[in-house]
């Protein structure tokens, strides 16, 4: 595994602590998955850049809030089957 370039290190250092922590989590998860599957981590620069993009995208697109009542059930209607002979 090679060291990230100076540009990548500069980009990471300009991020806020919160975003940097999220990027670090994405990178650690990716590296752990690579190690578990036996595949090499090929390009650290690309990994860092893509992790930053993923975190920024997740920040922009918040998870939708699902508002529903737990105690209510959806309306269901079960039509009886009628065979072609009955028609």
Domain ranges of the chain: 6-60
pTM reported for the whole predicted model: 0.63
pLDDT attached to residue 86:
62
Q: φ and ψ at 44, to 5 degrees?
A: -65, -35
Three-state DSSP class for 41?
A: coil
Contact call for residues 54 and 26 (beta carbons, < 8 A)? yes
For 10-53, write each residue's pLDDT tens digit: 888 898 999 999 999 999 999 999 889 888 888 888 989 999 99
Three-state DSSP class for 39?
A: coil
Question: Cα(18)–Cα(49) distance, rounded to whole angstroms?
Answer: 16
Distance of CA 29 to the CA centre of its chain: 11
């Amino acid at each position: 595994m090679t060291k990230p370039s100076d540009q990548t290190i500069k980009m990471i250092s300009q991020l806020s602590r919160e975003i940097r922590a999220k990027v670090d989590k994405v990178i650690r998860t990716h590296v752990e998955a690579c190690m578990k599957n036996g595949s090499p981590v090929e390009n650290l620069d690309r990994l860092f850049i893509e992790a930053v993009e993923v975190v920024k995208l997740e920040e922009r697109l918040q998870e939708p809030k699902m508002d529903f009542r737990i105690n209510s059930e959806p309306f269901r209607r079960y039509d009886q089957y009628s065979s072609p002979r009955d028609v």
